[in-house]
Amino acid sequence: MKTLSRKQFGYLCLTPTILIFAIFGVYPVLRTILISMFRFRLQTGPTKTFIGLENYIRMFSDTRFFGALLFTLGFTILTVGFEVVLGLLFAQMMNLPIKGQGVLRVVVLIPWAIPTMVSGFMWKFMVHDQYGVFNQILMSTGLLDSFIPWLSQDGTARFILILSDIWKTAPYVSLLILAGLQTIPASLMEAAEIDGANALKRYFRITLPLLKPVLATAILFRIISSFKVFTVIVALTNGGPGYATESLTMYTMRTYFDAGNYGYGSALATFTLLLTCVIALFFTDVIKNKIDAGRRGTR
C-alpha cells in the first residue's frame, strides 16, 4: 500500500473543508449570479426567462437602488472613519500602565459584547420621541423646547443609526489596534525619547507607521461589514422613514424575499458582492504599497 506524502496528507485533511466551502460558499454565489441573468419572480412560479444583463441595466434607472447605494457608501465612510479614530484613542487608553487597566478594558469592550439586535433596540428606546433619555436630557438642560422625533426625520434617523454603529463597533477596532500596540518594542520608544523626540513625534513617527498593517486589517474588516449592514437598521429604523436608511443589503433582501423578484434581487446581491470585492482589493493594494514604501524608508 502506497503511503501518502506529507503534502498529500495535508491536502487530504483539507478536503472536507474545501467541500463544505464549495457547497455552502461557492455554489450559492454562482447560483445567484446565474439567476441574475433571468426574469424570475415568485408570482410566475418556477418559469424563468433568460434576459442577459437586463436586470443590471435596470439598476441605472432605479432611484431606490441609487438611494440605497448612496446611503450605504455614506454610512460606510462615516462609521469606519470615526471608528478608526476612536479605536486609536481607546487603544491608547487601554494600553496605559495604570491601575485598574483591566476594568477599563472591560468597560470599553462592553458595547461590542452586546448583540447587534439588542443594541439597536436599546438605541431605539433611548431616542424615543416621548420617553427617550435623549430628549429628556436635552429638555432638562434647556437645549430643546420640544421633543425631537429622532427616527421620524431623514437626517436625524441617519445620524442616530450611524452613531449607534460607531458606539457598538469602535471597541472592536480598538481591540485590534491594542493588539498591534502591544507588539511595538518598548526599546524603540525609549531610544526615541533619549534622542529628544516628544510624545507627539514618537506617536506619528513610530507608533502609527508600525500600526499600518493592523489599521489596514481593521479598516478592511469594517468596510466589508459596513457594506453588509442590516441588523441594526432593522432594529432601529427598518429602513425608514420612507427609504431614508435603507441599505443595499436591506433593499436586496426586500426585493428577493418580500417582493419575490428573484432575478432582480440576485442582480442586486451580485452587484453588492462585486462592489465590496473591488473596494476591498483596491484598499488592500493601496495599503500594501504604503507599507512596502515605509519599509524601504520612503513615503
Closest CA to 104 of 186, 181, 171, 177: 171
Q: For residue 245, how far is the Cα from the chain centroid?
A: 16
> Beta strands of 144-239 (E only): which ranges?
none
User: Residue 293 corresponds to which cell in the numbers above?
Assistant: 514604501
Where does the pLDDT of residue 298 fall: very low under 50, low under 70, confident under 90, or very high at 90 and above?
Answer: very low
Largest Cα–Cα distance of the chain, in whole Å? Answer: 86
Percent of the chain with pLDDT over 90: 38
- Among residues 165, 166, 150, the alpha carbon closest in space to that of 244 is found at 150
Helix (H) or strand (E) holding 196: none
- Domains, in order of start, for the chain: 47-293 (1.10.3720.10)
142-180 pLDDT, tens digit per residue, is 887 788 889 999 999 999 999 999 999 999 999 999 988
pLDDT > 90? residue 69 = yes
Encode pLDDT of 181-217 as tens digits.
Answer: 888 887 887 787 777 777 788 888 888 888 888 888 8
CB under 8 Å to 110, separation ≥6 — which residues? Answer: 171
Task: Give the whole-angstrom CA distance, residue 151 versus residue 78.
Answer: 19
DSSP string, 163-185: HHHHHHHHHHHHHHHHHHHTTS-
**What is the pTM (predicted TM-score) of this model?**
0.86
Task: Average the pLDDT over 116-124 and give the result.
Answer: 92
27 pLDDT more than 90: no
- Burial label for 93, CB within 10 Å (0-12, 13-18, 19+), is middle
Amino acid at 213: P
CB count, 10 Å around CB of 260?
13
pLDDT exceeds cutoff 80 at 296: no
Question: Across residues 29-57, what is the average pLDDT?
Answer: 86
Number of helices (H) and strands (E), helices first, in the chain?
14, 2
The pLDDT of residue 290 is 61
Residues near 154 by beta carbon (within 8 Å), at least 6 away in sequence: 241, 242, 244
Report pLDDT for 68. Answer: 94
Residue pair 150/160 in contact by the 8 Å Cβ criterion:
yes
pLDDT band at 25 (very low <50, low <70, confident <90, very high): confident
- C-alpha cell belonging to residue 220: 478592511
Question: In the predicted model, is pLDDT for residue 295 greater than 80?
Answer: no
Average pLDDT, the chain: 86
* Residues in Cβ contact with 117 at an 8 Å cutoff, skipping those fewer than 6 apart: 231, 232, 234, 235
